[in-house]
Every structure is written in C-alpha cells, then in structure tokens.
C-alpha cells in the first residue's frame, strides 16, 4: 500500500472524473446506435444497409474500446491512490490519444460509412467495399492510435506494480505456492490486474502486427497476406481485449466489496492458481471463433474448446465462491454499490455459461453466426462489466458511507437491469430460432419462420432498449450531480 498525498488524491480524482464523464456521455450514444440497428432489423426504421453496417462497426468498436478504457481508468485511479505511484501525465496522455482515436473512428464510420465490422475481416475492407477507401485508411489509423494508447497505459501500470512489489514472480503470486507465507501480502486487485494486463499487452502487440499489415495493404493494393493468419491475429486481439475488460472489473470488485461486507478477500494458494490458470487460458480461448475455418489445423480447434472451458472455470468458480462467502450472513446494507457487484457477477456467470455452450464444437455447428453469439457477449458486457463500472462510478461519486447507502439510484438500476435482461433474451431467442447475426434485416430469408421471428424479436428488443435508456438516465440523475461536485477523494 502507499500513502497518497492530498494533492495526489485530488489529481487522480480529477483525471478519473474526466474519464467517467466522457464514458457517461459516449455510452448512451453507442446504445442509441444499437437501438437504431434493432429498429432496422425489426422493420420499423428505414435506413440503408450501408448506414446499418457503419453503425454496427462504430457501435462494436466503440463499446469495446470505451469499456476497456474506462475499466483501465478506474484501475489507474484505484492503483494510483492505494497500491503504487502512477504518473498522472501518462493518464492524461492516454486520455487524449483515446479521444483522437475515437474522433477518427466516428469520422470514418459516420461520414465515410466504413462498415467492415469490428474485426475488419481481411481482405473484406479492400475488395469491393462500398465505402470510400480513405475511410478504411482512417479506421486503421484510428485503431493504431487506440492500440498504442492502451499498450502504453497497460505497460505503465504493470511497470509501476512490479517496481512496488519486486518482480513479476511476486505480482503473479508465485511466492504463495511454497510452504512459507510470503512476508509482503499481495492485494488481490494487484494479482488480477497483472494476470489480465500482461495477456492484454501481448494481444495489443498482435493487434499492432495485424493493423500494420492492413495499413501496408491500404497503400500497396498488390500485396496479398494470408487471410487465416490475419483472422487469428485480430481475434487474439479482440477476444482478449473484451475478456480482459471483464477481469479488470472483477479486480476492483475484489478490492471494494470487502468495504461493505467487512470481510477480508485476500490472496491465497487457490486464488493464485485460479488467476494463473486464467492468465494462460485466456490467450488460447479465441480459437473457438475459428471453428468454421477448415484451413485452421484441427488441433487448434480442440485447443480452443479446452482453453474456453478452462479459462472460464477457475477464475469464475473461485470468484463466485468468494462472492458467496463475502455476502453470506454479512449483515451489510444492500446499497447500490454491492448490488451492482452482485448482479454484475450474475451477468458474468450467465453470459459466461452461454459462451461456454457456444464454444462446444458440436453445438457451435448449429449456433455459429446466429444471434446466440451477440446474446452471450452482450450478457456479460451489459449485465457484467457495465454494472461493475456503475458500481465503481457510484463509489467514486459518493464520498461517504451515508451517501453510499442512498436508496435513490435503486429505481434506475432495477429498470436498467430489467431492460437489459429483456434485451439480451431477444438475442438468445433469435439464436435458438436460427436468426443470423450481422443481417441488417431478415426480409430475404426464405427458410421457415426466420424472417418473421427475427423481425418480431428485434421489435420487442427495441422496446427493452428504451427501458434500458430510462433506467440509465434515472441513474444519471444521482451520478452526474455528485461526480461534478468538487469533493474530497475516496482513498
Ligand atoms: C443496450 C445496449 C446495446 C444495444 C441496444 C446493442 C445492440 C447491438 C446490435 C443490434 C448489434 C448487432 C447484432 C447483429 O445483428 O449481429 C450489436 C452488435 C455488437 N455489440 Fe451491441 N448493443 C448494446 C450493448 C453493447 C455493449 C455493452 C457492448 C460491449 C462490448 C456491445 C458490443 C457489440 C459488439 C462487439 C457487436 C458486434 C459488432 C460486429 O459484429 O462488428 N454492445 N449490438
């Protein structure tokens, strides 16, 4: 632990507030793009296919990027004020890089109509695309800027932690595996941050290779790369980024929940083994996205299924068990913050289970590229990490325990949760009825009832998105005022 000075606390609080306000503005905008997509699929809104795909690309990249960025910023605050000294200037530098990358992406999608989807499936953006070539180039540059920002940000945090705790060996808790108790205790947030950010750094490097190859292709159209290699690189990057975002949220739940339950949630052999397991398996689980790629070596498909099972089980099971131990008979007050953590854990477990189902090869043959896929990742993002983020934001905004027990945001929170479960349920039902993903509408599908069912479910989903927005803006009523009010920092 470190003792941050009041100046350091104020500087950190200001930086994290800037990040938080930016997140609170961008999040409903990105949800609105999702609403427009569901309305188009439900045939109640007439926008062109090119607009749909531009919105889908901006929504997917935007959500993944915004959530990783705010999760990183939350940890930058918690680590920088409690566990290791971080350079506040680096924090602002990352913020401005992320802002530049985001503006570039918005221009490329909304003006240039770049619509290749989040993973820019090579060579799709360069072959017969119906958007301007400059939009492809600008999107690639935007992603490079974002990737550089996240890489520097992650390296800075891991470097500061290893300076404070001695070595990577200690950061990963390996000194807990011997017979003797380590002299210096390792906070769980530090272990989980390391086990998440190191694979993230590797995935950013893979993403950099992918993006530079794409940039070369943009400038020299006669080049031809191996599409399977590029698909592996981009899925390693994207899949790891989303998983790591989830784990960063889990990291602060380990740190903050004990303040409510008044029970320690420390590191021991089991916690070390589980997060070390996740550290390894998280890097191989993405193979489950390539089952349909017949040219991929068969062994990697099996590796993908096993890694998906193993990456989900240790950290999830150990964390869920820890959460139960934290809450059981704890006599704490059920205020908004522990509530967001509890329901967020449920969202992570439900979405994670649906992901494991889909990563099972025999089931994936049926569910592949149906709405089941957006169903599972929307569950653990919208009802998992997003709730953890709101838990953190309320923690940040409410300066003392009296405020933290404020019952007002409860209505907004439950409205959000009901809307979000209804919204993802329509995706699951779509998947079970063979409604394909990434279709701007289902009009041309002649098989069975897919067209009718897909459009109906999309219409109902749009209503639930409206409920989500009502819940969100109700929570904003409590959050914005408190966040903008000059106040003492939490420490
Ligand atoms: C209420 C909130 C949200 C709504 C209404 C929404 C809506 C949608 C819709 C309609 C699609 C297209 C599905 C398809 O037909 O394939 C989609 C895709 C996607 N969404 Fe969301 N979403 C929401 C929240 C989120 C969140 C929190 C994330 C966080 C990562 C996210 C990430 C994505 C991604 C990565 C895609 C895939 C884009 C692609 O295929 O290129 N969404 N979303």
Q: What is the 3-state secondary structure (H, E, C) of 236-255?
A: HHHHHHHHHHHHHHHHHHHH
Measured at the alpha carbon of residue 320, what is the angle toward residues 323 and 288, in degrees to the nearest 5?
A: 150
C-alpha gyration radius of the chain: 22
Contact (Cβ atoms closer than 8 angstroms) between residue 251 and residue 196: yes
Contact (Cβ atoms closer than 8 angstroms) between residue 342 and residue 383: no
- Give the residue whose CA is nearest to atom 25 of ligand 1: 378
The CA distance from 81 to 490, in Å, is 9
Provide the phi-psi class of 362: left if phi over 0, else alpha when psi is between -120 and 50, else beta: alpha
DSSP-derived letter for residue 183 is S
The CA distance from 12 to 247, in Å, is 22
Which position has the token pair 């950010």? 197
What's the gap between Cα 349 and its chain centre? 15
**Cβ(56) – ligand 1 distance below 6 Å:** yes
The CA distance from 54 to 115, in Å, is 4
Q: What is the C-alpha end-to-end distance of the chain, expressed in Å?
A: 11
**Cβ(307) – ligand 1 distance below 6 Å:** no
The CA 310 to ligand 1 mean position distance, Å, reads 26
pLDDT of the residue at 491: 45
**Cβ(381) – ligand 1 distance below 6 Å:** yes
Look at residues 246, 58, 72 and name the one whose alpha carbon lies nearest to residue 143: 58
Share of the chain above pLDDT 70, in %: 98
Look at residues 241, 309, 321, 311 and name the one whose alpha carbon lies nearest to residue 278: 311
**Cβ(85) – ligand 1 distance below 6 Å:** no
The CA distance from 241 to 141, in Å, is 18
CATH code that applies to domain 6-484: 1.20.210.10
Measure Cα distances from 328 to 37, 50, 249, 320, 479 in Å. Answer: 42, 51, 22, 12, 29
- Long-range CB pairs of 323-326 (<8 Å, 24+ gap) are 323/253, 323/257, 325/263, 326/257, 326/258, 326/261, 326/263, 326/265
For every residue of 367-405, DSSP letters joined together read HTTBTHHHHHHHHHIIIIIHHHHHHHHHHHH--SHHHHT
The CA 185 to ligand 1 mean position distance, Å, reads 40
What are the tens digits of pLDDT across the range 326-351? 999 998 888 899 999 999 999 999 99
**Cβ(454) – ligand 1 distance below 6 Å:** no
Residues of the chain with pLDDT under 70: 400-405, 486-491
Task: Return the C-alpha torsion angle 94, 95, 100, 102, nearest 10.
Answer: 110
The CA distance from 421 to 223, in Å, is 46
pLDDT of the residue at 191: 97
Contact (Cβ atoms closer than 8 angstroms) between residue 383 and residue 424: yes
The CA distance from 320 to 186, in Å, is 20
Tokens of 437: 């993903």
What's the gap between Cα 209 and its chain centre? 22
CA atoms within 13 A on the CB side of 332: 22
- Domains of the chain, by residue range, sit at 6-484
pLDDT of the residue at 486: 66
Which position has the token pair 């992918």? 210
pLDDT of the residue at 238: 97
Put simply, whether the predicted model's pTM sits higher than 0.85 gets the answer yes
pLDDT of the residue at 102: 98
Backbone φ and ψ of 156, nearest 5° = -60, -45
Tokens of 339: 């509530």
Name, in order, each residue with C-beta under 8 angstroms of 357's C-beta and a sequence gap of 6 or more.
Answer: 363, 367, 376
The CA 28 to ligand 1 mean position distance, Å, reads 13
The CA distance from 42 to 59, in Å, is 18
Helices of type H across 282-330: 298-327
What's the gap between Cα 94 and its chain centre? 18
What are the tens digits of pLDDT across the range 266-303? 999 999 999 999 999 999 999 999 999 999 999 999 99
The CA 65 to ligand 1 mean position distance, Å, reads 12
Contact (Cβ atoms closer than 8 angstroms) between residue 389 and residue 357: no
The CA 384 to ligand 1 mean position distance, Å, reads 14
pLDDT of the residue at 179: 87
Measured at the alpha carbon of residue 457, what is the angle toward residues 452 and 460, in degrees to the nearest 5?
A: 130
Measure Cα distances from 386 to 16, 71, 233, 380 in Å. Answer: 16, 9, 26, 8
- Give the residue whose CA is nearest to atom 28 of ligand 1: 63
Tokens of 122: 């090579």
- Give the residue whose CA is nearest to atom 7 of ligand 1: 34
**Cβ(468) – ligand 1 distance below 6 Å:** yes
């Amino acid at each position: 632990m470190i003792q941050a000075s009041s100046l350091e606390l104020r500087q950190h609080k200001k930086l994290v507030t800037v990040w938080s306000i930016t997140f609170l503005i961008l999040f409903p905008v990105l949800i609105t793009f999702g609403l427009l997509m569901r309305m188009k699929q439900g045939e109640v809104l007439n926008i062109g296919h090119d607009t749909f795909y531009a919105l889908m690309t901006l929504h997917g990249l935007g959500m993944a990027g915004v959530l990783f960025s705010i999760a990183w910023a939350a940890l930058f605050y918690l680590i920088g004020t409690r566990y290791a000294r971080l350079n506040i200037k680096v924090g602002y530098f990352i913020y401005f890089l992320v802002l530049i990358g985001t503006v570039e992406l918005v221009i490329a999608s909304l003006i240039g109509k770049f619509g290749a989807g989040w993973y820019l499936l090579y060579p799709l953006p360069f072959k017969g695309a119906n958007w301007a070539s400059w939009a492809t180039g600008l999107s690639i540059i935007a992603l490079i800027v974002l990737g550089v920002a996240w890489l520097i940000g992650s390296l800075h945090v891991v470097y500061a932690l290893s300076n404070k705790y001695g070595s990577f060996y200690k950061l990963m808790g390996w000194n807990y595996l011997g017979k003797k108790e380590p002299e210096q205790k390792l906070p769980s947030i530090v272990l989980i941050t390391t086990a998440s950010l190191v694979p993230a750094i590797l995935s950013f490097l893979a993403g950099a290779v992918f993006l530079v190859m794409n940039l070369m292709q943009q400038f020299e159209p006669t080049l031809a790369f191996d599409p399977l290699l590029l698909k592996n690189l981009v899925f390693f990057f994207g899949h790891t980024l989303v998983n790591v975002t989830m784990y960063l949220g889990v990291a602060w739940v380990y740190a903050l929940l004990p303040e409510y339950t008044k029970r320690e949630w420390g590191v021991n052999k089991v916690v070390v083994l589980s997060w070390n397991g996740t550290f390894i398996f998280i890097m191989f689980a993405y193979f489950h996205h390539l089952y349909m790629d017949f040219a991929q070596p068969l062994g990697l498909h099996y590796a993908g299924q096993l890694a998906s099972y193993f990456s989900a089980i240790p950290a999830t099971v150990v964390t869920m068990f820890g959460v139960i131990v934290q809450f059981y008979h704890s006599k704490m007050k059920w205020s908004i913050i522990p509530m967001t953590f509890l329901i967020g854990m449920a969202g992570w477990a439900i979405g994670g289970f649906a992901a494991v189902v889909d990563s099972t090869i025999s089931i994936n043959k049926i569910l592949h590229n149906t709405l089941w896929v957006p169903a599972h990742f929307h569950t653990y993002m919208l009802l998992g990490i997003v709730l953890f983020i709101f838990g953190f934001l309320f923690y940040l905004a409410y300066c003392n325990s009296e405020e933290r027990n404020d019952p007002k945001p409860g209505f907004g929170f439950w409205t959000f949760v009901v809307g979000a479960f209804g919204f993802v349920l329509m995706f699951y039902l779509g998947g079970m009825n063979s409604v394909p993903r990434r279709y701007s509408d289902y009009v041309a599908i002649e098989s069975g009832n897919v067209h009718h069912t897909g459009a109906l479910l999309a219409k109902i989903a749009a209503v639930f998105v409206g409920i989500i927005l009502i819940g969100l803006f109700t929570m904003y009523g409590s959050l914005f005022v408190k966040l903008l009010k000059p106040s003492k920092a939490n420490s």
